[in-house]
């Protein structure tokens, strides 16, 4: 789960990581009041959307007067911001962070994430922080330093200091930076983050170290024990269908293709997407209905797939283990009737109660193409939508 910059900064602040003073607004009328509250000659007006690259896209504006703060707020609020992370459709700016301008001496990059190659939490830092970090990673990877963290010992202070030396943190602020690194690690672990990124982490002319931007991602599976983080969830920023699916306990991720997939089990769902692509099709979604899905769950899954106008065909690929094929079959028949099925439907069922499931499908008056194998099903659905 992703959260906004202002929320991430609130959390970092609770871990004693310095952040600029800031005010959040959602209405233009509040801009002036916010400007007075932060008591700074220079203020920065920042678009709050769940995507990075805002600076380069015009979503971060430096204002030198109250009038400018108002003007920039007016310009940004309600606008659709397209950055290299939003996709071409962009994201509507509904919230602004107005914060104290900061006297930047140098911008650094600092992050913690899980390195799947070493299976270790890893701290990453660079002296080339700021809006071009992707380019640094591509063109001068030697400027990016990593510390692999031992899960038993945790981040050791000497590792944090070594990173500071490697990225040339000025010696008089090394101890402050080490504290920030240690606290960031604490936050990462305690809040079950999958990413904590401060870009830029800046050293100011006044010799202060401050987190000027913050991006935090959380493991959704742990939200049950991080209720405070769940409060930060902004449904406006999420895909409508994904939100609906999560309410029904379905794992659904919407994609750009036109073949809707309904599958049980994440592994089979991935394999199904692969085989569709192998035959030249493009999956419209990843959907795992889970191991013990009920008829109702299947119906809901079907409705979510069909609510996507781009879907030109559906491939149901179920292996009945705990999940019984007859349950799936009656779910499909029920849903197809309710939603007035308008696209070709290919079904491959295998496993527990498979003959019962096939009987249900055959005796219904819905136009269903059955397939004996996953391979045949994928081939058929790709052909049918052509």
Binding site for ligand ADP (CB under 6 A): 20, 44, 46, 52-55, 60, 99, 101-102, 104, 107, 130-131, 199-200, 212-213
Q: CB-wise, 200 or 344, nearer to ligand ADP?
A: 200
| 29 among annotated binding-site residues | no
Q: Tokens for 11, please give them.
A: 């959390």
Residue numbers at the binding site for Mg ion (CB under 5 A): 199, 213
Angstrom distance (rounded) from CA 269 to CA 271? 5
Cβ-contact 251, 287 below 8 angstroms: yes
Longest dimension (CA), the chain: 79
Shortest distance, position 171 Cβ to ligand ADP, whole Å: 23
Q: Is 55 annotated as a binding residue?
A: yes
Q: Does residue 109 carry a catalytic annotation?
A: yes
Residue 107 annotated as binding site:
yes
Which residues lie across from 146 on neighbouring strands? 124
Q: For residues 108 and 315, which CB has a smaller minimum distance to ligand ADP in the complex?
A: 108
Query: Which of the listed partners (ligand ADP, Mg ion, none) does 300 bind, with a CB threshold of 5 to 8 Å by partner kind?
Result: none
Pair type for strands 345-351 and 215-218: unpaired
Distance CA 198, CA 112 (A): 9
98 is in an annotated binding site: no
Strand-pairing partners, residue 108, are 201
Strands (E), the chain: 22-25, 43-47, 60-63, 80-81, 91-92, 96-100, 104-115, 120-126, 144-148, 193-204, 209-211, 215-218, 251-254, 259-263, 285-288, 313-320, 345-351, 368-370
Pick the closer one to ligand ADP by CB: 24 or 306.
24
**Is residue 338 annotated as part of the catalytic site, yes or no?**
no
Q: Is 74 annotated as a binding residue?
A: no
128 binds, among ligand ADP, Mg ion, none (CB under 5 to 8 A by kind): none
Nearest by Cα to 170 from 209, 132, 141, 200: 209
Query: Which of residues 91 and 312 has its CB atom nearest to ligand ADP in the complex?
Result: 91
> Which entry of Mg ion, ligand ADP, none binds 288, CB below 5 to 8 A by partner kind?
none
Helix, coil or strand: residue 186: helix
Q: Which does 99 bind (CB under 5 to 8 A by kind): ligand ADP, Mg ion, none?
A: ligand ADP
Q: Which of 6, 109, 185, 232 is catalytic?
A: 109
Catalytic residues: 109, 197
Binding residues for Mg(2+): 199, 213
Binding residues for ATP: 46, 53-55, 99, 102, 107
């Amino acid at each position: 789960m992703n959260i906004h910059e202002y929320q991430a900064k609130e959390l970092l602040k609770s871990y004693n990581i310095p952040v600029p003073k800031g005010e959040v607004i959602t209405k233009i009328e509040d801009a002036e009041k916010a400007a007075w509250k932060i008591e700074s000659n220079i203020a920065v007006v920042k678009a709050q959307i769940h995507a990075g690259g805002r600076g380069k896209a015009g979503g971060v504006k430096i204002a030198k007067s109250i009038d400018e703060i108002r003007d920039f707020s007016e310009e940004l609020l309600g606008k659709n911001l397209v950055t290299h992370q939003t996709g071409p459709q962009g994201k509507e700016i509904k919230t602004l962070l107005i914060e104290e301008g900061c006297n930047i001496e140098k911008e650094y990059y600092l992050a913690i994430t899980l390195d799947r190659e070493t299976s270790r939490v890893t701290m990453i830092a660079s002296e080339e922080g700021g809006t071009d970090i992707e380019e640094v990673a591509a063109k001068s990877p030697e400027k990016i330093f990593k510390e692999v963290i031992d899960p038993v010992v945790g981040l050791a202070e000497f590792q944090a200091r070594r990173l500071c030396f490697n990225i040339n943190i000025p010696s008089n602020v090394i101890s402050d930076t080490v504290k920030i690194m240690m606290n960031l690690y604490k936050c990462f672990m305690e809040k079950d983050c999958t990413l904590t990124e401060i870009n830029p982490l800046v050293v100011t002319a006044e010799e202060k170290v401050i987190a000027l931007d913050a991006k935090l991602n959380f493991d959704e599976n742990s939200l049950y024990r991080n209720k405070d983080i769940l409060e930060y969830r902004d449904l406006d920023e999420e895909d409508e269908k994904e939100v609906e699916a999560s309410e029904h306990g379905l794992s659904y991720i919407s994609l750009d293709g036109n073949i809707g997939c309904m599958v049980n089990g994440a592994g089979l769902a991935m394999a199904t997407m692969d085989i569709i692509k192998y035959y030249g099709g493009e999956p419209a979604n990843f959907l795992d209905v889970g191991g013990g899905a009920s008829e109702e769950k299947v119906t809901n899954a079907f409705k979510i797939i069909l609510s996507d106008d781009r879907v030109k065909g559906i491939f149901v690929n179920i292996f009945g283990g705990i999940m019984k094929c007859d349950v799936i079959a009656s779910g499909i028949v029920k849903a197809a009737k309710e939603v007035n099925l308008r696209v070709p439907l290919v079904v491959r069922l295998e496993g527990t109660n498979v003959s019962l499931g096939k009987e249900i499908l055959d005796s219904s008056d819905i136009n269903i193409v059955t397939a004996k194998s996953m391979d045949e099903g994928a081939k058929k659905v790709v052909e049918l939508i052509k």
